[in-house]
Each structure stands twice: as C-alpha cells, then as structure tokens.
Structure 1
Amino acid sequence: MKNPNGYGSVIKLGGKRRKPFGARITTGYSNNGKQTFKYIGYFETRKAAMQALAEYNANPYDIDLEKITIREVMDRFIKEKEQTIENLTLKSYKMYYRYLKPLHNKKIRDVKTIELQTFIDSMPQLSTGTLKNLKSFIGLVLKKAMELDIIDKDYSQFIKLPKHRNKIERKVFTEEEIAILWTNLNEFDYVDVILILIYTGMRINELLKLPKENINLEENTIIGGNKTKAGKNRVIPIHPKILPLITRRMSNKTFFLIPNKSEEGYYLYNNFRKNEFMKIMKKLGMEHTVHDTRHTFATMITDVSTNESAITQILGHTNIKMTRKYTHTNIEKMRKEMEKIN
C-alpha cells in the first residue's frame, strides 16, 4: 500500500549494513523539482523502520540531528516504553526525567562526559543507589539516541559515582520545635500540614495525595493509602490536637485535602518540599527533612505506648492484607494509644 503524500517512506540501503532499512521523510523539493529527504533513523528490519515512521507521523519531532535535545529523546524513549514496562518502572523513569531537568534543553550531541559528571555531582541529596539508577536511565536514553544515529557514543559509561553516601540521619522534632510550629500556625501557610504529618505519622506523598473522601469527621479517622501493602487502606485515628486543622481544610472546595496552588490537583512532593517545607524550616531556624515528621511521630508514640500492634497498624509497618477489616475495637485501641501523645 502506498503511503499518503508527505508521510515519508522506507527504503533498503545498499551494501552490507547492520541496519539496512532507512526511514525518511520529505523535507521539500530541489530547484529541479526532486524531493529532498531527511532520515529519522536506520533499522534492522523493514517492520521496525515502518513503525518508527508511523510514530514520527503520529508525534512529529525535530529530526535535525544538530538540534535534537535530551528532552526530545527522553520523550520518545518513555513513549515507546510506557506500554511495555511495569507501572512502577514507568514512574521511576518519569522521576529520573524530572531529575534531569537542568539538561532538558541541551543538544544531546553536545553532552559529553564532563556535562554528565557535573550534573551527577550537583545532586548531593540523592543516595548512591538512586544515582546508580539515574546513571542507568541516562545510559538508556543515550542508547536510544545511538539507535536514531543522533550520537555514536554513550558517555554515561564514564560517569563516576560516589563510593558511598551515608544514609540520611533522621532527626526528630523536639518538643520546643513542635511548640514553635503551633505558635506560627497562622503566620505561614502549610505549617498545619507539617503538624498533621507529625501527629499522624503519614508519609508525605500519602498525605499530599489524600482525597477528602478518605476522611471521616464523624468517626475522626483517615484512610491511609500508599507505598506498602500494610500502608494501604489502613485506618488512622485523628489526634484531637490536629482535628481543627483537618476540619478547616475539609471546608475548602477541593478534591484533595492538600491541593496545589491551582487547587485542581494534589501538591507534588518536590514542589511542596522546595516551596513550602524548606522555606518554613529556614524562617523558623530549623533543620529537618520532610521525612523527619514521620520519624517524630514514631518516636513520640513509642515513648508513650507499649502496644506494638496498635503502633505498627497506625504506621502501616505490618504485612497486613489490603482487604483487612478494621473493627470498631481495633480503631479505638489505636486511638487510645495515639491520644497518649501530648
């Protein structure tokens, strides 16, 4: 079947080639009326070349090899993979995509070892394991660029990772610091979110993605829900101290308890951490990570309670089934332990 005008074509190139099929598009016409072409890539089979041509026509991109950016190659790579990889892997790829934002608009042909090494060295907040995975992702992106004949060398193989980075040491919020947060409740937006985290032990993304429908103000409970099996669909009693904070946020006409600035979606973790949490910490003279709130709750409740079953259920650490049914007695036991916290 003949392709539509302007669609492009696949031709078999002469000679002994590992990738003999070229996918090309028409870019114009010469002075004597002949078509001019540009190749979007070379492939081992005609079928692969036709697939690439179809994908290009569905989502055209800049095929001027001198201008193609890292972001364009990443977009193409992720689009090709999203139907064939597990959802968790796809989420990881998108996270690495965001990490690479400083390099997004750089022409991929101009990115050499020095640029990649400088980028990796500028990410001291990431663990060695995360950096290793990020390096692997960069390698996959550069491999895709090599397949498209944009570059001919994978410079990610020369990236040197730190030997070991110590695990982040968690610091609990002291009683004095928690008192300061309460004092400044009406001074800074989102201090209430920090206090809710401290008094529920919820993971940050768990709270940021919490829909209001998961909050029951009649029974004063929250249905938690992410990361681990034990963490999903668990009931968290609302501590009396933060009940007014949650009630106030429930009065807003938003789907999520902690909406983003546009109030149309939830607040992304990186944005919340950078734009809210770290600014509040700086203004109040505190040095903490967001995850210190959960560590603080775990410390506070273990200081006042010996009921390990209730504690692990609240924190979502036990390997319970998602379908577990919480009886009223179970909830009241957890509430009793939680309310021992001052």
Structure 2
Amino acid sequence: MRNPNGYGTIKLMGGNRRRPYGFLVSINGKQRLIESFETAVEAKIYQANYYLEHHHKRLPGHKITFEELFYRWLPAHLQEHPSLAKTTIYSYKNAFRHCEMLHHKPFADIKYADYQDIIDRIRYKQKLSYSSCKKVRSLISLMSKYAQKMEYHKTNYAELLGIGQNKPVRPHKTISRQKINRLWRIADASGIDTILILLYTGVRVGELLELEKKNVNMKQRFIRIAKSKTEAGLRIIPIHPLILPFIAARMAAAGTYLICDNAGHPYDYSRYRSELWDKAMKKINGSHYTPHDTRHTVATLLDDAGANENAKRRILGHAGGDVTDRVYTHKSLHQLRKCIQLLR
C-alpha cells in the first residue's frame, strides 16, 4: 500500500556512514534530510512519529511489529532506568537477536506458541543456557508490559513460558586462601591489583569495569556503584585498607574510569578476560576460576567470619533486609566498614 502524502521517505544514503538511513520529507518541492539513523527500524519509528506529530493521525492499517516495539521500548526503558549497566543493555539486545523469527510479525498477532517455540529452539536445539532462556523470557515480559501501557496489546504471555530447569554448567568456586596469598606475592604484576580489588570489595566485574573515578571517594574511602544489573546493586562499598594503595594508584593514572589501560582506555569484559584476568590466573595456576568466583569467595569468607547479614547483603548488592534503603548514615557506613574489614 502506498504511503499517504506527507509521510516522508526513508533512504539508504551512500558512503561509509555510522547512521546510513536518512528520513527525508518534501518541503517546497525539494526533499530535505530531517534525521539519520543507525537502523532502518529506528528510521521507520521516527517516520511514523513525525507523521503523527505533523498530521495528527497514524498510518492507516499499520500494525507495530515485534522489532518496532523493541526499538520503541528500549529508549523508554533506559530513560526510566538510567543506572542500568552496559552488560544489562547488551543482554536485552542479545535476547532480541534470539527472537529473530518474530521480528517482522505484528506484535499483537504473536501468541504463546510462537514465544514458546523461540524458547525451545534456543534451549534444546541451540543448546543455550538456562540463563539465556531466562533473559529472553524477561525481555518478552518487559516488552509486553510496555505494549499494555501503550495500549498496543493486552496479553503478557511471559509468565506462561517454560524454560526448563536450571542446571549450572559450571558451579561457582571459592578461590582458596593459598591462591589469594599467591596473588598478594605478585601484586606488582600487571592486572593483579584488579583481582585483589574484586576480592576485597565483592563487586561484579562489570560494575568494576564501569566504575568511573568520580564515584570513588578517597577522602571518606568508599566507592559508589552507580551502574548495576539490579536496583539493589546501586550501593556504596567501603574501601578495604589493604587495597587502598591500588585504588590510589589507579585514581592517579590516565582515564576517566578506575580500571583503564596505560593509554587511559577502559576495558570491556572480553578484553579484561584476555589481557588481565586469564594471564593472572595462569601465574597462580588458577585457570579454572572466573571473575564471578571473586564474589562467591567474598560471600563465603564473610559468612565464615560471622559478618552481619544485612551489611553483607548491602556490600554484595543483594536484595533483602533493608538493602533497598538508599540513605547511608555515618552509623551504617561504620557497619559496612566493620563488615568489609573482616576480609583478611
């Protein structure tokens, strides 16, 4: 069906452009570029909104597809939750890619069986993890709630979807005291300080890699986690005296992030693993450990030391107790400091 007058045109522009899709409208008989976009879907969404804003009506017969809804929902979700970590945003986009078979279907026409087929394919045919299936189901739920709010669709099938049982491929391990001592003996080696920071803060590796220097308070000796995968993950953590010299050295180095290379460039997870973590683990014969094992180690060591449960939850960013209280008083900071200093 031909678009109505005034609806504009989307054009793939030439050259090596970062935003190759242009939206053009005719003004006084000449086509003028209004905006450019990275994807055709984003351009189409802008086109529809432009037509609605300037002509006060929608394109007749238009049904929002799964793909279009995703690109409408994601900016709204990020605006509502500005503290989401990059890893969480990446997981949304990855889950969206797993739903490729649904991208061009009208969202209102997608049924339970269509969603369950996606889950079954990635779980049993592609042999992806329980976690991957859970993330796809979570995306479907979030998009469906947005569709309900915007009155695009009324049904949320996510709670009906089966994703199988969680069978951990690799149970988390506690890093032994012997290995920790070996890390301290080679603390001057490249990247070892980052592992010790993980072991004496309990932060997620993604939280550490996204920690900006502006969120490190050297005067009061704490770090503020401003981006996390969960709301409970937004927290402050006292700096353990043993790692204070590492933090101070990193603060004096180049870059706006705490963990940067010599040129001041931050690490993503993949580069951190290959350039720092994996090499460090080989030095202590610990190649079977992963960065997340540091959190498991901190939790175990605090339990063994008889740490206060609420303080431990706050430090690790786990929901429960009074962890949702975002007001940190002098007394609560003192309690957190006492807890973190149980780590030896």
- Flag whether TM exceeds 0.5 (same fold): yes
C-alpha separation between the residues in 1 aligned to 2:290 and 2:125? 19
Per the alignment, do residues 93 and 329 of structure 1 end up closer, same or farther by CA in structure 2, a change over 3 Å counting?
closer
Partner of 1:258: 259
TM-score (norm 1): 0.59
Deviation sequence 1:284-308 (CA, Å, 0-9, x none): 3211011000110111111112411
Partner of 1:194: 195
TM-score (norm 2): 0.58
Residue 78 of structure 1: how far off its partner (Å): 7.0
Taking the TM superposition and a 5 Å limit, the aligned residue runs for 1:44-83 are 46=3, 53-57=9-13, 59=20, 75-76=39-40, 81-83=70-72
Larger radius of gyration: 1
Partner of 2:154: none
Whether the 8 Å contact between 2:21 and 2:40 is mirrored in structure 1 is no
Per the alignment, do residues 205 and 133 of structure 1 end up closer, same or farther by CA in structure 2, a change over 3 Å counting?
closer
Query: SS state of the match for residue 242, structure 2?
Result: coil
Per the alignment, do residues 166 and 327 of structure 1 end up closer, same or farther by CA in structure 2, a change over 3 Å counting?
same
Is 1:224 the counterpart of 2:185? The answer is no
Partner of 1:242: 243
Partner of 2:147: none
Per the alignment, do residues 218 and 135 of structure 1 end up closer, same or farther by CA in structure 2, a change over 3 Å counting?
closer
Per the alignment, do residues 271 and 293 of structure 1 end up closer, same or farther by CA in structure 2, a change over 3 Å counting?
same
Deviation sequence 1:218-239 (CA, Å, 0-9, x none): 221111231222221x221111
Partner of 1:275: 275
Deviation sequence 1:70-110 (CA, Å, 0-9, x none): xxxx95457765344334786435446999xxxxxxxxxxx
Deviation sequence 1:254-287 (CA, Å, 0-9, x none): 21101256424x3212221233212322343211
Deviation sequence 1:140-185 (CA, Å, 0-9, x none): xxxxxxxxxxxxxxxxxxxxxx977731301011000001111122
C-alpha separation between the residues in 1 aligned to 2:137 and 2:126? 12
Partner of 1:289: 290
The more displaced of 172-181 and 90-99 is 90-99
Per the alignment, do residues 235 and 83 of structure 1 end up closer, same or farther by CA in structure 2, a change over 3 Å counting?
same
Query: SS state of the match for residue 278, structure 1?
Result: helix
Residue 198 of structure 1: how far off its partner (Å): 0.6
- Partner amino acid for 2:233? G
Whether the 8 Å contact between 1:185 and 1:191 is mirrored in structure 2 is yes
Per the alignment, do residues 120 and 267 of structure 1 end up closer, same or farther by CA in structure 2, a change over 3 Å counting?
farther
Partner of 1:145: none
C-alpha separation between the residues in 1 aligned to 2:182 and 2:97? 34
Per the alignment, do residues 302 and 54 of structure 1 end up closer, same or farther by CA in structure 2, a change over 3 Å counting?
same
Query: SS state of the match for residue 10, structure 2?
Result: helix
Query: SS state of the match for residue 254, structure 2?
Result: coil
Taking the TM superposition and a 5 Å limit, the aligned residue runs for 1:1-342 are 20-21=1-2, 46=3, 53-57=9-13, 59=20, 75-76=39-40, 81-85=70-74, 86-87=77-78, 91-95=90-94, 127-130=129-132, 166-167=167-168, 168-187=170-189, 189-225=190-226, 226-232=228-234, 234-260=235-261, 262-264=263-265, 266-286=266-286, 287-319=288-320, 320=322, 324-342=326-344
Whether the 8 Å contact between 2:10 and 2:21 is mirrored in structure 1 is no
- Partner amino acid for 2:282? K
Percent of pairs with identical residues:
33
What residue ranges of structure 2 are gaps of 5+ in the alignment? Answer: 14-18, 23-37, 46-69, 79-83, 99-121, 140-162
Query: SS state of the match for residue 194, structure 1?
Result: helix
Residue 210 of structure 1: how far off its partner (Å): 0.7
Query: How many residues get paired?
Result: 243
- Partner amino acid for 1:56? L
